[in-house]
A and B are shown apart, each in its own frame.
Chain A
């Protein structure tokens, strides 16, 4: 046991230090994290715009309370808009609607058009589905959310929205809270799979290095047992016989590539938004 602790003392010290750092940070920042709203230009205090009449008054009030609490915890506006009206038969129309809604009210926790997110859920159906949904992100939320993360939130919403819209919108608010409560360095967090792969690679190297047998090398050479000065080339002849030359044409090759773009765009009001949407 003593040898075991001695052998892994560096690992244990690193883990202990990381645990201590986390403990101190959690004590100092984790418990007391609360943001103060600094956007004084926002044109409304409302966050739940149930134009589609999908929620009861109690549900609306409950959502408002939840949003108020979450906004202070993460420092981002969280807005919900439900509709049941035609806004255009494609996702871009809904995207523009969401972006304009956000811009017109000058949402943003820190400043107008600043940190925040808005979910538009339109129950007006253009096809074999119940409605369209778009999630518009701005400021820190736009920075934090990749397309995959937006899809995750929408998947959570779509899983229950047809049966229980209130539950779906609660999920939306809580998902935003969970993703944004990881702080400004959250984007650098490692996924579970990445950590597992790193652990497997490190362990593999550890095993390989320590299991490699130290094979004794042969340290004699061809000269080791030759009597000094007793190696003599009596005769050496190299007679040229023939030669031939072959040729080969070298084919030139070229390569090319293409670059892709990101998921960000600028709204008609000139403000940057991210986002994504789908049907339910």
Chain B
């Protein structure tokens, strides 16, 4: 399917800035109507060939530029429960990258060029969000050490305690990305999202962006969610043990009971830069603007700039001496 503007027939897209459907050709707001597609092979707008691959649920037609959404991958078993609409627009994302890297001296010349930056695309990344009821019981031995001084003698008192804790904690919507193409570590760094803006899924939010359906099942990905929940539970438990100098664990019993799972699409801006045969991905949270990615280094620039600084300081030192000599 595509969203068409009733007024001019062009592709209407979701505008993050306006938080509404928008026609970039006639500036109409909320003038969209659905034009149903016929399969995933051809563009409903121009008939051009589409490349849906195994997981894509929304693509941009290479021929006419329309954003085509596949009903086959956004409905039935693949219908997300929730979607977090883009809040950050393309220009905003580009400005963030320029602000972050604009003053870095060793980047290749075209890293921030308009041509390269225009290739930036917004994508809805599939996530599973896990809810857990956690019970955590801990038996441990704690040590408190106190030191004081009297005259020339230092006293060290070590007190030993038996510790018992029994804690309940409920986790809600721990996100794990369900996309093979997205780097897990980088996706984790996109967190947190502001869940207050989560909305019930509607395909109109996808118009104007790329998207994938979940590449794996919630069960296959749960190990990562459990690891996150366990780490957070342990950190919360540690907060109850701050009076102790050292804690030696004797026995711990941590139970995570999965209570609910949501399938959601979360917004991410992607900028992929290729330099000397290597790919450098950058991701920006499409809601909060948080960014992750490491840019390449131009060795020629490093050499040239370092030589300039070194010779410049040498020259300044020489001129300093010459001026003193004449004074």
Contacts and interface: CB of A to CB of B under 8 A. Distances in A.
Contacts of B153: 247-250
B317 interface: yes
7 contacts: A202-B309, A216-B291, A225-B173, A231-B236, A236-B240, A243-B158, A249-B152
A93 interface: no
A250 B154 CA distance: 7
A19 interface: yes
B319 A19 contact: yes
Interface of A: 3-4, 7-8, 11-12, 14-15, 18-19, 21-22, 25-26, 29-30, 181-186, 188-190, 194-196, 198-200, 202-203, 206-207, 210-211, 213-214, 216, 218-227, 230-250, 252
A232 B167 contact: yes
B326 A29 contact: yes
Nearest to A218: B189
Contacts, number: 208
B162 A210 contact: no
B324 A189 contact: yes
B191 A22 contact: no
Contacts of B302: 207, 211
Contacts of A222: 231-233, 235-236, 239
Given A195-B318, A246-B155, A220 B166 contact: no
Interface in B91-146: 100, 104-106, 109, 141-142
Contact of A3 (B109, B152, B191): B109
Given A224-B192, A230-B170, A233-B165, A22 B309 contact: no
Contacts of A21: 323
B313 A203 contact: yes
Contacts of A220: 191-192
A18 B320 contact: yes
A64 B54 CA distance: 98
Contacts of A203: 306, 309-310, 313
B163 A237 contact: yes
Contacts of B217: none
Contacts of A196: 314
Contacts of A7: 105, 305
Contacts of B235: 221-222
A181 B291 CA distance: 59
B162 A234 contact: no
Contacts of B141: 241
A27 B142 CA distance: 79
A231 B104 contact: no
B286 to A, nearest CB: 16
Nearest first, the 9 A-B pairs at minimum CB distance are A195-B317, A222-B235, A230-B170, A199-B313, A216-B292, A18-B319, A243-B159, A182-B325, A235-B166
A186 B326 CA distance: 9
B233 to A, nearest CB: 8
Chain A at the B interface: mostly helix, strand, loop or mixed? mixed
A39 B297 CA distance: 66
B72 interface: no
Nearest to B310: A203
B321 interface: yes
Contact of A22 (B156, B188, B322): B322
Contact of B327 (A14, A185, A232, A234): A185
B275 interface: no
B192 A219 contact: yes
A236 B320 contact: no
A15 B319 CA distance: 8
B290 A236 contact: no
Given A4-B308, A195-B317, A214-B100, 10 more contacts: A4-B304, A14-B316, A15-B312, A18-B316, A183-B327, A230-B169, A237-B162, A240-B159, A240-B160, A252-B152
A212 B8 CA distance: 51
Contact of B325 (A186, A199, A214, A224): A186
Contact of A243 (B160, B292, B321, B322): B160
Contacts of B265: none
A237 B165 CA distance: 7
Contact of B314 (A199, A231, A235): A199
Given A225-B174, A246-B155, A18 B323 contact: yes
B71 interface: no
Given A225-B171, A231-B169, A248 B104 contact: no
B172 interface: yes
Contact of B158 (A30, A189, A230, A244): A244
Given A199-B310, A216-B189, A226-B236, A188 B169 contact: no
A206 B306 contact: yes
Nearest to B241: A238
Interface in B269-327: 290-294, 297, 302, 304-306, 308-327
A49 B172 CA distance: 101
A19 B291 CA distance: 44
Nearest to A33: B326
